[in-house]
Amino acid sequence: MWVMECPKCGAYCASAAERSWLPECTSCDCDTRLPRVHQYYELKEKHPDTLILFRCGDFYETYEDDAKTCADVLGITLTRRNITGERLAGFPHHCLDTYLPKLIRAGHRVVICDPLDDK
């Protein structure tokens, strides 16, 4: 179990680590992820066997199991997001030409995604 502060209602809520894909506030039932990250998880749900490289500013980010896979294959750092505790690995967008072939040679299907506007 881990505890987080809900950015919507301010309550401190406990969530099971196994539910880190969809962390929800137990006080107000809101999802604590940023809107752009919702798009990532919606796409991941539709394509669970595909690594999703999700563009966030000047970086491509991956989350949870995709992050672990990318960190292992590419030799990049695996970290955790502070507010939700979800695993995260990423690399600068200009490194795509170097990292994409490595993922494909390792036998992974890869999707490159630019998120839709948050508005």
Q: 41 with 83, same domain?
A: yes
Q: 48 with 8, same domain?
A: no
What integer pLDDT is reported at residue 52 of this predicted model?
A: 93
What integer pLDDT is reported at residue 81 of this predicted model?
A: 75
Q: Are 103 and 76 in contact, with CB atoms under 8 Å apart?
A: no
What integer pLDDT is reported at residue 43 of this predicted model?
A: 86
What integer pLDDT is reported at residue 86 of this predicted model?
A: 80
Q: 60 with 78, same domain?
A: yes
Q: 7 with 53, same domain?
A: no
Q: Rounded to the nearest 10 degrees, how much is the dihedral formed by the CA atoms of 96, 32, 77, 92?
A: 30
Q: 80 with 104, same domain?
A: yes
What integer pLDDT is reported at residue 6 of this predicted model?
A: 54
From the list 63, 69, 68, the residue with the least C-alpha distance to 33 is: 63
From the list 13, 59, 55, 60, the residue with the least C-alpha distance to 36 is: 55
pTM beyond cutoff 0.75: no
What integer pLDDT is reported at residue 19 of this predicted model?
A: 39
Contacts of 38 (CB under 8 A, 6+ apart): 31
Give residue 18's domain range.
1-32
The total domain count for the chain is 2
Show the low-confidence residues of the chain (pLDDT under 50).
1-4, 12, 14-23, 27, 32, 119
Q: 73 with 118, same domain?
A: yes
